[in-house]
Structure formats: structure tokens, C-alpha cells
A and B are shown apart, each in its own frame.
Chain A
Amino acid sequence: MANVRGIWTSTPLRQSLAMAALFALVSLVSLAATYWIVRDNTEKALRATLEQEMKGFLALPNAAAVLTFVRSQSETASPEDRILSYVLPGGLHVGNAALVSKKNGYTALSLDEEYADLSGSYFALSAPVHGGQMTIALSAEPLGDIREAFLSVFLFSLIPTTLLVIGGGVLLARRSVRRLNRIDTTLDRLTTGDYAARVAPMTGRADDLSQIGDRIDKMAAAQEQQISALKQVSADIAHDLKTPIQRVSVLLNRLQDRANLDSDSAELVDRANAETDGIVKTFQSLLQIAQIEGGSPRKRFEPVDVAALARTFCEVYEPAAEETGHALLCDVPDQPMYVVGDKTLLGQVFANLIENALRHTPDGANVSVGAVLDSGAVRLTVSDTGPGIPADERENVLRRLYRLERSRTTPGNGLGLSLVAAIVDMHEGEMRLEDNEPGLQVEITLSSTLAPDLSQSKPQQNG
């Protein structure tokens, strides 16, 4: 059945997601590196400015000059941009803000409520100048601006680009999912025996998928040709073999119709007729196995009630069982059990298994046919109380024309079980040969289906 692929498992989408992730990662790394370099440079520039100014203060002759200079500078400098603070040991303080750093060197400051009218980040340099402590702080706002600029680069270019890549990936993925689904459906039809199925040329741009589609079509065409050649060969062989068999049967019939035939001759004719039937049966089975294994179309499959089929074949073989003194038990409940399949072939499964059981068990043995509906599966069994098959021989009996050493004396062509195996395989079922203690149990498991909806049968055609 068409396995409709989800878009999230499609290769193109996964690839585009991976690409998007890689792109985002590389962009983030390079953005971070650039940010770090720019920030570092800006900080260096701030330090240089601070050092320059500090040198200016150090160049003044004494503390009084510093006081005067700081005072005049404080009048013009807004403390939001630049803070000047000069504290003398006596407690005298000048400047546009009371900033006291006890530590020499650079500090990054974050001012909060402690300073009533100031807030924000600053970059400060503190040094002893003429007995007092001089602190110059510059607003760290340029650093913040850089961060904001990089953040907006991230928000307005990187995120949309990533989203765009993912969106494009989804679009591409949907297209390839459509193509893949088409290939999938075609392969499904081909494997279920519809050899006329083709992917057909895909509309739109050619890509690797459309190339695969073309190749599948070429392969399917070759396969179709081979199968029709095989069919022709089987038909030819069948014709060439059946024609002489038919002639033999015609001649035997003519012989049989002669009035002057003595009873010995009549018996010989009957035996010859029976042998002819045997040849035909073997040939028919071989032909059928070849046809089934050669890919018989499954498009004719329909819901089949195998419980009813089991009952019918019990009934059909009941007289034969009675004749040989076998007890044929039909342990099949009255409820219907549907599987999707070919009714004639499934019927042959029962016929071959029951016939096999009757043939290979001594008179008086029990043969039972069972059917159980069990969690979505139908389990069919044909078991007997005969000699069974040794465990190491069980594989072999499924081989074509293989017969157990001891069954060489009983009639049959050794094709029964291999035909059953081929039919079960065609129905995607499972077949197991088990020990019935004593005897053989053949167990076949097929997946069950719902009863066909009879109200939806095809409308009658008019005219």
C-alpha cells in the first residue's frame, strides 16, 4: 500500500534544516567575533581618552591647580557623559559627581540609586594626583550602542534569513515528497503485479528524483517485456505438451469405445487414462507455480471468507475421507473470516493440504481443519495424526518435486506443498510446518480484513 511519506522525514527538508542551522551557527560566531573586536577597540579608545586626560591632570603643578581646573571643567561637563571627581585626604571634594574610587586603575562602574541623580554604565580611571584621588569616568554608552547595533543585525538579518532558508526547504521538500510519493506508488503497483504502472515524466524542473523516475520506468518496461515473454514461453510449452496429451486422450477414448474390448484391455485403457490424468495434473501444478512465482497480478484480489471456504472444502473431501476410513473434522466457527486474496487459489490451499493429509496418513487417522480469527490475523490449520515429517525434512518438503524417501510409494507428484507455499507467499502470509505430536500440522497465517460492504457494490449498467 502506498506509503505516504511525511514531509518531516524528507531529505530536502532535513538538509535545509541542517543548512539553516549551520548558517545560523557560522553567522553567530562571526557576529560574536566582530562584536568582540569592535567592543575591544572602542574600549581601548575610551582608555586612551581617559589616560590622556589623566596625564593632563598629572601635568598640573599642584593640588590647588587641579582643584581649580576640575571645578571649571565640572561646570561645562554633563555628568551623564563625563564625571570628574577629585577627593583630597581632608575630605574636600570637587567635581560634577561624588565618585570615589578607592582602587587605582580601570573599573567599569554601574551606578544605581546610591547616586541620587546619576545612573548608567561608566568606564572609569582612578589615580592619585598631588595627594588626592582623581577619578575620571566616561559614559560607557558607546559600548551599549555597539551591543544594540549588533543585536539589531542579529534580529533583522540573521533570524529572517534563517526562517527564509527553512521556508524554502519546506517548499522544496514538498515538491520532492510529491515526486517520491509518485515513485513509491508506482513501485507498490509494480510489486503487486501491475506491470503497466509507470512513474511518467514529471512536470517542472528535472532533478535527481525525476531521473530516478525515468529509470524506474525503463526498468518496469523491461520487466513487463520479460514477463510477457515468459508468459509466451509457458503458453508455447503448454500448447506443445498439451496437444500430444490431448491426442493420446482422444486415442484412448476411441479405444475405449470399441465394443469388442476384453476386460484386460479395458483395464489397461483405464490405467493409461489415469496416467494421462497424472501427467496433466503435474504439468498443471508446475505451470501454476511458475505463473504465481513469476508475478501473477494481484489486482484481482478481493475479500474472501476463508471460514466458508474451509467448510466447503471439508465438505468436498468428506466422501474421500470416508472412503479411506479417515475422520475429517471441521473445527471452523460459523463467523465469517475475511482475507484479501484470490478465492480459487485459496481454495487450492485447502484442497492440497487436505488431500496431502489424507494421502500421507494411514487409514483411520484423523485430519482436522481449523480456522481462528485472532487480533487482525486469520490462522488456518490443517493437522493430521499420521507419521508427520521429521524436523530436518520440513524445509525440504516445500521444495518443488521433493518427496520424502518413505512417501515414494504413495501417489502424488510432490508439488502440493510447494504450490501451497507459493500461494501463501503471494498473499503475503506465513506458513509453518509443525509437529502435531503425533503427525503434521500446517499453519497458515494471513492478515484479516473487514467484511466487504455489500451496499457499495457496483451499480448495474444499463443498456
Chain B
Amino acid sequence: MKILVIEDDKTTGAYIADGLREEGHVVDLLENGRDALLQASTTDYDVLIVDRMLPGLDGMALVKTLRGAKNQTPVLFLTSLGGVDDRIEGLNAGGDDYLVKPFAFGELSARVAALARRPRATQEETTLQAGDLEMDLVRRKVTRAGQTIDLLPREFALLEHLLRRKGRVQTRTMLLEAVWDISFDPQTNVVETHISRLRAKVDKPFDTEIIETVRGSGYRIEG
């Protein structure tokens, strides 16, 4: 993927750029909002990572200007604030996701991957599948190797979310947002607990593991 990072702090910027390059992305790093506006409007990127406060041109103004010029490249905002208002303001300005500083690299990487492959209005699926596991969304039934698995509603939602994003890492906070609808981190291990309960039903009785733990990042179902 081709990613443009706009971050005025050199240490943070280099850390993001190096990390993404290690993952095999092509990364351009800029420190100034005005330069970024020119660069983003002349070059095609898959994702923009934008610090909200930038010298030259503020991150919010930058994204608003790009959106005004019909540039629809997905934007991940990095912010120092992180209040409820700031989050909504950022999303209203045309941001697609929002990450509060300080963040771990795994979180950033997972969110960038999620942005780049945003599902683009696919037709309604009625079954989801991974290996020998099958989920019937209409009858709300899960089977693996022909065996029916009984899941609690939260476990079902968790599995459905992972199945719909096969191959992509989902972090704790992403799962909290999607499955529990909580947009702040309550710092409990509720996600881990539910994942382990889900695993006990979905993976333990079988030979292979479908739900994979990605160290330092989150969880993934391989596609």
C-alpha cells in the first residue's frame, strides 16, 4: 500500500514510517500541512495518516480541503485530544478513523489495514465461512465440521465480526467498539475473556485453531 504520513513530531513520524515500511508499505513522511495538501492532491495514496495539529495547515483543515476537492482517500486522524467532541469533530471533517496518542504500533497498523480494505457496499451475505466453520446469518447458527456450536449472543457477534474481516487483525479497542459499542477503553480484559470462551467452543474441540492471536496487536481469522 502507498501511505502518506503527516506528523510534525520527528520521533513519532519516523516510528510510524519505519514500522509501516517494515510491514511492506510504501511510505511518504511529511511534517507540514501545506506540503501535505500539495502532495496528497497530486499523488494517489491508499491511506492518509494525519496528525490533527500541524504547522502550516491544521490537520482538520487539510482533510476538509481534500474532501472539498472530491479526494476520497481514507484518512486516519492521530490526535492528542481524544474527548468525545474531538472524535466527532474529526469524523465530521471527513476522517474515517481516529486514534488517540499515545498509541501502540499494532493498533495503528490494524486500523490502517481496516481503512484500506473498507467493505465497499457488497451485497448482503447470508453465510460466512472459514475453513470448516460455517455461520448462517439468517438462522443464526454456527457449525464446524458438521457439528452445531451453541454461542451466546455476544460470542456470536464477536465471531461474526472476525469472520467478516477475514485476514485482518482486529485489536481490543476495535472489537470493543464493534461488538460492545464502547468508544473508550475501560481497561478490562472483557475482550480476552470472551475470546477465550469463544475459543473453548469453536477451537478447542477441533484439531486446528481458527482464531489466531497476533502478539501485541489483537486477533484474526485467517482467510
Contacts and interface: CB of A to CB of B under 8 A. Distances in A.
Interface in B179-202: 180-184, 186-190, 192-193
A284 B81 CA distance: 8
B2 to A, nearest CB: 23
Contact of B9 (A243, A280, A313, A316): A243
B223 interface: no
A154 B197 CA distance: 94
A242 B78 CA distance: 11
Interface in B140-187: 154, 180-184, 186-187
B190 A317 contact: yes
A343 B84 CA distance: 10
Interface string B56-98: 0000000000000000000000001111110010000000000
Interface in B7-65: 9, 11-12, 15, 53
A164 interface: no
- How big is chain B's contact interface, by range? 20 to 34
B189 A242 contact: no
A243 B12 contact: yes
A287 B83 contact: yes
Residue of B85, B88, B189 most packed against chain A (CB within 10 A): B85
Counting chain B CB atoms within 10 Å of each CB, the highest count among A239, A254, A297 belongs to A239
Contacts of B53: 235-236, 239
A280 B80 CA distance: 10
A319 B83 contact: no
Contacts of A413: none
A74 interface: no
Contacts of B117: none
Contact of B154 (A313, A315, A319): A315
A146 to B, nearest CB: 80
Contact of A247 (B11, B154, B187): B11
Given A245-B101, A246-B12, A247-B9, A316 B80 contact: no
B153 to A, nearest CB: 11
A250 B15 contact: yes
Interface string A220-246: 000000000000001110110111011
A126 B15 CA distance: 129
Contacts of B193: 318-319
7 contacts: A235-B53, A250-B102, A276-B102, A288-B83, A317-B186, A319-B189, A345-B84
Given A276-B102, A316-B190, 5 more contacts: A234-B81, A243-B80, A249-B103, A284-B100, A348-B184
Closest 7 CB pairs of A and B: A242-B80, A319-B193, A249-B102, A238-B80, A246-B102, A320-B188, A250-B15
